[in-house]
Amino acid sequence: MTGGAQGIGRAIVEACLTNGWNVALLDPDIAAIEALEEELGLPDGLMSHDGSNHDERVVRNAIEETVERYGALFGLVNNAGFSRNMPLEQLSLEDWNAVIATNLTVGFLCARHAAPHLRKAMGAIVNLASTRAFMSEPDTEAYCASKGGDFGLTHALAASLAPDVRVNAISPGWIATEAWQKPSVRSEPDLNASDHAQHWSGRVGNPEDIASMAVYLLSDEAGFVTGANMVIDGGMTRKMIYQH
């Protein structure tokens, strides 16, 4: 699991642990990792690695150490991601590369090094894409491009690793993650009635909504699901919006 110490990633980590699975997470935020371990009581099934998600050496070593400790690798969740939203004329190549590296390249690196172990275990990969792969707001070029790449990478991997490894994506919509951050930035979501009402589901999403889907896609219950993209957005990307 990449980016597993906060937000949606943390919810997936906790859901996997609750399901009785061992989890290894890779996250560059040491403070967030330490907070997670303290708050969860350092469960035996949790293994943490700190370091850059898109450093190939770090990725390779993390996967090797995970297999050494647990004996096998049955699933991979590529969740690491962030955005740098700004006007196009201000978006530097450095900013663009940083977003692409974390949001897309890390998924390739993890899949590449995990593939032999996942093939052996007949395992599964879950990539966290976004509804931003299919719809946009201004000043989101790097983030939207990276998430579109995650979508494309998913079905390419599903083809390349078939039939041994299933590969699927989850595209979250508006998910309130404030309460799932490290203590120094944790807060309650600042949401109003209109925020919830604009969703067909009647509410903004929460990290547990995504975690439950990730657990399903990793499990044998999803044995006939591969190359798919699960949109979890309360219906928002299917709305027709008219201004009168």
Q: Which of 96, 104, 4, 125 is nearest to 54 (CA)?
A: 104
Q: Tell me the three-class secondary structure of the chain, residue by residue.
A: CECCCCHHHHHHHHHHHHCCCCEEEEECCHHHHHHHHHHHCCCCCEEEEECCCCCHHHHHHHHHHHHHHHCCCCEEEECCCCCCCCCHHHCCHHHHHHHHHHHHHHHHHHHHHHHHHHHHHCCEEEEECCHHHCCCCCCCHHHHHHHHHHHHHHHHHHHHHCCCCEEEEEEECCECCHHHCCCCCCCCCCCCHHHHHCCCCCCCECHHHHHHHHHHHHCHHHCCCCCCEEEECCCHHHCCCCCC
Rounded distance between C-alpha atoms, residue 215 and residue 222, angstroms: 9
The catalytic residue among 70, 143, 216, 242 is 143
* Catalytic residue check, 216: no
Residue type, 215: V
Q: What positions carry a catalytic annotation?
A: 143
